[in-house]
Amino acid sequence: MDGAARGVEAGRCERPFLPDFCGVRMVFAVVVIGELLAFLLTLARGATGTGFWSELSLISLFIQWTALVSLGALCLARPWLCRLGNAPAAWAGYGILLAVTAAVSEAAWWGAHLEPLALPLGGLGHGAFLLRNLAMAALVGAVAFRYLYVQHQWKQNLEAEADARVQALQARIRPHFLFNSMNTIAALTRTDPERAEQAVEDLADLFRAALGREGGTGTLADELELVRRYLSIERLRLGPRLEVAWAVEGAPPRAEVPLLLLQPLVENAIYHGIEPLPEGGLVRIEAHRDAEGMLCLRVINPVPAGETPRRRTGHRLALANVAQRLALAYGERGRVEVEERAGWYQVTLRLPLREKEATHAGADRGRRGAGARPAA
């Protein structure tokens, strides 16, 4: 199989229609739903007293065996199913469910008629017993696969909407920042060509990160380098009004983070905190591993007296986009915490700590960053 074919095959397996049947949550959900189904079927049969509990135990035993064996078969077949595409995988999975039901029903029929057991099967004949179980499995399986399909479509729509927001956030560099940067560069070309060249390189790296996503994630070291380049351009414009304090020594540099996650928060800190203050102020950037083993990123900036960032247009949009990106990537484990204190505004991001494998692009970017003049 050539590289292109392998790429297509891998792409099909990245977002399969069927979920991970080997997961603990899936097994637990199937067991609970199977027990509820057994309870409903027992109630429908009208048994009372000790007969109710006897029938419930038999029906539960049969349903749980069928459900768990089906899960095991689907779990083993999932690598093959995810290569078929959504519709063929659904039909193949549906067929596996019916085949397992038929096999378990056949085993239950012959096992129930063994002389030591002699279990009642509702007075049904062999064929009627098999047909009844297959009919129930077909109905329950159709509902289950339909639910999985709807859930899959809903998740894809949610990811598409979130991806559009991510692209909008990554592509958004404030027009006033771009114009101010170009004016600053134009002025420096006459007085300090070397600094002008460095500013152009920093601006190019910002746009490169905004337009080239590389799968949407990078390393913490890459993100911090991007922030430093952004700050170096802003310091050309704001001069001594912009002070920056870093506290990132204890952070793992290979930690995986979504691209352009921290830079928009630093941009907001300058736009909403430093620019309105005639004397400027200090932006503090922190990164560390917290007590829960999470990666903690924090940006702290001053705000004008009697004014909070919530009253200024645009601040909530960036926070909402960052929060949505964290929720999409990490679920409930990704959090955005905002704290307002007298004269200070603090945004904290918490996300699971994961190590990202090195890539050639990351290595190239690291070499560019290592060779550049240290930024703010």
Task: Give dist(CA 319, CA 264) in Å, integer.
Answer: 9
CB 351 within 8 A of CB 295: yes
Beta strands in the chain (DSSP E): 217-219, 242-247, 256-258, 281-289, 294-302, 335-341, 344-352
Q: Binning pLDDT at 50, 70 and 90, where does residue 346 land? A: very high
Higher pLDDT among residues 119 and 370, named by residue = 119
What pLDDT, in 10s, does the model give residues 234-288? 888 888 999 999 999 888 889 988 877 888 889 889 988 898 898 999 999 999 9
Closest CA to 218 of 255, 186, 244: 255
Report how far apart, in Å, the C-alpha atoms of 216 and of each of 104, 108, 224, 260 are: 46, 51, 16, 9
State residue 287 phi and psi, 5-degree precision: -150, 130
Q: Would you list the DSSP string of 114-130? A: STTT----TT--HHHHH
pLDDT of residue 299: 95
- What percentage of residues in the chain have a pLDDT greater than 70? 77
CB 323 within 8 A of CB 336: yes
pLDDT of residue 376: 44
Closest CA to 229 of 215, 208, 254, 248: 208
State residue 279 phi and psi, 5-degree precision: -90, -5
DSSP classification of residue 243: E
pLDDT of residue 375: 41
Q: Given a cut of 50, is residue 364 above it in pLDDT? A: no
Report how far apart, in Å, the C-alpha atoms of 107 and of each of 62, 114, 124, 304, 333 are: 10, 11, 15, 76, 45
